[in-house]
Each structure stands twice: as structure tokens, then as C-alpha cells.
Chains A and B, each alone.
Chain A
């Protein structure tokens, strides 16, 4: 697979966080991690249109670069380009875990055991997302990871881990170097806690120590 094409789609799916239903987004990211580009080309543009998710020009260019080479329908792709401002997400983030998470957060422990010192992985952080000012029962873990290579595959792997641990629609944001963070990710990072640091951690900090 062309790494540029893969990278374009990965960045697009990153930028769709908070604007696309979780149950769609994690699935598309899983398909990208598995290299199912033809499947994404036939389904992602339609899905964006059906869910009325407009893309800005930068996102649109990523979609064109990622899916047109794999046979995406040009009419559908071109219809995704929006003119108005992209809708802001209504999520808020907090650093503290909701009460239903045990005093021992087994997911964090597992991530620590898996990713600490791992090659190509920088910082691993997590934040808790809420819709507006909803109660704690609606809090959802958002994992924020920096990685220097293999972001789509790492996303898929971490999603599988979180699903086995009970998160049916995991939110895993694997951020490449020199990525211009959207507002969703900036807000999440501002209210995040460190889980562990991989082998590439020193040069790829998300939040100043």
C-alpha cells in the first residue's frame, strides 16, 4: 500500500474524531489498519454524505488523495466538500476517571504493559470525554498516542485491545509527527493524564512536562 495514501486516510479519520459517530469511526479505522482500501473507497464517502458530515478543503484533499486511487466514486467524493464552517464538537474533557472505573484501572495497566518502551511509540495519554455536561455514566475514555510510524496499524491494535477490555467503540487517536492538531484533540490533551512513554517518547511529547 502506498504509505502516502494510507497516511492521508489516517489523518482524515483523525480529523473526523468528535464529528463522526464512534461506532462508524472505529470501524473505518480498523478497516484502514487492515489495509482494506477498496472497502473504504466504496463505503466512506457514502457514509459521510449520509451522516451529513461535511469536509473542509484540507480534509477533502485528504479524502481525494486517499480514496480516488482506490476507485471511490467521484460524484460522492466531490459532494463531501462543504462550504460552511465545520461544526464544532460538543464534547468536554476531564482528566479524572469516572467513578465506575475501578481504583485499579486495568485498561491503563494493560496499555502500560504493552506500550512502555515500545519502538515508534511516543507518549501515551488518556482523557475522559463527556457530552456537554452529562453525568459520569456518559464518560468515555479517549486514548491519545504519538507514534512515528505505523499509525493505522497501531490504531487497529489498540482498538482491539480496548474492545476486548469492554469498550465496544474505542476512541484511539494515534497522532503522527508534525500533525496540526484539531480542536478536539487539543481539548482532550489539555485534560489528559500520562499513561506511559514508548521508546520514541523523548522527542514526541504531546504536553509539556
Chain B
């Protein structure tokens, strides 16, 4: 029997360990096995997922490293499967390099934004979605080519196996065949994902500055210092269904991939965030722009968009929760319009956070002061004019 040790995945839950293993096996086993295993993980059938994965590797005589064998044995054991199955794996110290060819030409993103519209509104903490064609077969029983590979990046609140399953389901429902690769924080990108991401086309990005570079080979060591995260309300832009993306003559890793096709927003709600390197052209949302502040701001020339894009991760988390529960309320928070019905409670100020700049701290203080003042004003107005609440639907009607 294979000896079982905790490895580099120690600390992850069993489903996440298997999900991360599947990420490492992407391009080495067939896409059907990857997709089915991810669905089984999401459906809490871990034992079937790991048996399918291990069986596919054994039957296809696909070599794995010793650490991968140990990890599979561990997951088999932890899911009450027969861990001796891992003994039949073909273990090779020096794995042959699996090289795959990817291309962003011929619109791999076509139709994805529409198909994923609702899914991306519902699933929490999705940072970016990219798409690319893979022109090479994967595994011992490959499917049809080219294969569309959809790369999804999540923040810490996202659940990678669940998102992989839901995104795949939405795409299948729309008749789009693909394999969905979902990466979360803390897992280094494999060569497969880096190669795919280097030429992938953006489908949906939050505008976060650290959404795209994770998929691209970074010459410098990755910096893990937390960066200010922009407003989470999707400012999603998708290349037009009718547009033709011009192929980049020399896809450069350093240069952003910006489609020249006209873009249309999937979800129109929040002001445009600062454009990230791979963010398509963004369009401000008229309604949000018209939401003029009811008191002069002290931040001088800064626009609302600039200010909301400097929210701290904790505030972004609050906004995301609010969006998940009630998109309307979330939009109000993002636009600086607390609802009449609810008191907005921002997390306590952590001005000692070393990752914050002086400008961040000043903006944070101002934001909290402004919201606190609004809450006080709203509370006073409610006390004076409580009858107006009975209308309910129009918070700014009074």
C-alpha cells in the first residue's frame, strides 16, 4: 500500500486537494474526465471523483510524479475509497513535458459572456474569465479539437470546484463545449495554465489589477502584498458577438490583449473601474453617474469611480456579500447610496494595515465618515418622517 503523507497541499480540504490535483493534471488526462471529476467534487461525491481520476491515469498509462501518487492515495483514503488503487499508477520521476498549443484567434470568447451572464452575477468572488482554443489532444482518450479552454480566476471567497461545475453547466446549457479551469489563490499556475493564459482572450474581468497577470508568466517573483481591490460590482465588458477580433501578429506576454472590436457591457450598473491591462474598453453606467453625492467631497478632483476602486479587501468583501444577497443594495453601497431601510455597517477601520498607503488611509477615513454621516441623517429623517417608509420601494422618494 502506498504510504500516505501530508504534502504541499496540507491545510486544504479534501475536495480542494482533489481540485488542485485536477488542475495539475489538466492537459494530461482527457477533458471529459476533468469535467466529470469536478462535477462529482461539487456534488460531494469525492470518492467517485478520485476513482475516476485515478482510473483514467492507470488505464491511460499516464505517468504521475511520486508526490501526485501520494496525494491521490491520500485523497482515496480520506474519501474511503481503496487507497491501494494508487499502487497501480505509473510513476515516473522525470515526467515528460506535455506541450500544448493554444491560440486566442478565432474568437474563443464568442458567446461566453452571454452564456455566463447570470452565473457570474450569482457566484461570489469571480475575478476574471478568459477563453482560449487548445489545438492539441489531451489524455489517452481525447475529445474533438479544437477544445475551448475557459480560465476562471477566483478570489478567496470563491469555491473553485463549485465554480468549475456551475460555469461548465451554464456553458453546456448554451451549447458551448469547453473545459473549465478554475484557479483560486495560493496555488501556483501550472505550465499548462500559463501557456493558455498567455494567449487567452478576456471574457469578463472585474478590473482588478491582479486578475490577469496571474495567468501570465511573470519575470519577477510574484508579489503577494494585498492590493486595493476595485469595486466588485461587475463592470463586465464583452467583445461584441458581431465584432471580429483582429489576431495579434505577435502575441506579446508583456502587452495587454485589448480587443479592437466594439464592446458591450454584460451588466450595466457600476461606474467604470480603472482599466486593467486585459480589461476591454469600459463604459460608464449612466444611472450611476447621475447619482450625485448630496454633499461636497473633500477629495478634490477624485471621481466616485476612483474612490470606490480604492476600497479595501474587507470592504469589497462586504460589498460582495451585499451583492449576493441583494444586488440592488450592493449597487447602492457601491454608489455611496445607503438604502433607507438598512444601516450599512462597514467593517472596522484598520488603518494600521501596512499595505495601505497614506492616500488609501485618507480615503478610507473619508468614506467611513461619509457613510456614518449618511446613516445619522437617514436615522434622523426616518424618526421625523417615519410614515414615508411605508411606501417601501423608493428609498429616495421622500
Contact = CB atoms under 8 A, between A and B. Distances in A.
Nearest to A51: B48
B215 to A, nearest CB: 26
B58 A27 contact: no
Contact of A42 (B61, B85, B144): B85
Interface string A114-158: 000000000000000000000000000000000000000000000
Interface in A153-200: 159-160, 163-166, 168-169
15 contacts: A27-B56, A31-B58, A34-B140, A36-B55, A36-B88, A39-B54, A39-B55, A43-B51, A50-B48, A160-B141, A163-B143, A163-B144, A164-B137, A168-B32, A168-B143
B191 to A, nearest CB: 24
Nearest to B36: A23
B349 interface: no
Nearest to A159: B141
Interface in B68-101: 81-82, 84-85, 88
A46 B48 CA distance: 9
Contacts of B122: none
A160 B33 CA distance: 14
Given A39-B55, A39-B58, A47 B48 contact: yes
A30 interface: yes
B59 A31 contact: yes
A38 interface: yes
A23 B143 CA distance: 13
Given A23-B32, A163-B144, A164-B143, 11 more contacts: A23-B36, A34-B140, A39-B58, A39-B59, A39-B88, A42-B51, A42-B81, A42-B82, A43-B85, A164-B137, A169-B32
B60 A39 contact: no
Given A39-B88, A164-B143, A30 B32 contact: no
A164 B82 contact: no
Interface of A: 23, 27, 30-31, 34, 36, 38-39, 42-43, 46-47, 50, 73, 159-160, 163-166, 168-169
B85 A34 contact: no
A34 B52 contact: no
B142 interface: yes
B142 A163 contact: yes
Contacts of B30: 163
A164 B143 CA distance: 5
B152 to A, nearest CB: 21
Interface residues of B, number: 27
A52 to B, nearest CB: 14
Which 3 residue pairs of A and B lie closest in terms of their CB atoms, listed nearest first?
A36-B59, A34-B59, A31-B59
Nearest to B45: A50
Contacts of B58: 31, 36, 38-39
A38 B57 CA distance: 13
Contacts of B36: 23
A164 B31 CA distance: 12
A47 B33 CA distance: 16
Contacts of A166: 143-144
Contacts of B141: 30, 159-160, 163
A38 B143 contact: no
Contacts of A36: 55, 58-59, 88
Interface in B140-158: 140-145
A40 to B, nearest CB: 8
Contacts of A31: 55, 58-59
A163 B30 CA distance: 11
A160 B144 CA distance: 10
Interface string B128-139: 000000000100
A164 B85 contact: no
A47 B143 CA distance: 24
Contacts of A34: 59-61, 140
A122 to B, nearest CB: 25
Interface in B1-46: 30, 32-33, 36
A73 B143 CA distance: 33
B86 to A, nearest CB: 11
Contacts of A38: 58, 85, 88
Given A23-B36, A31-B55, A36-B59, A165 B48 contact: no
Nearest to A165: B144
Contacts of B59: 30-31, 34, 36, 39
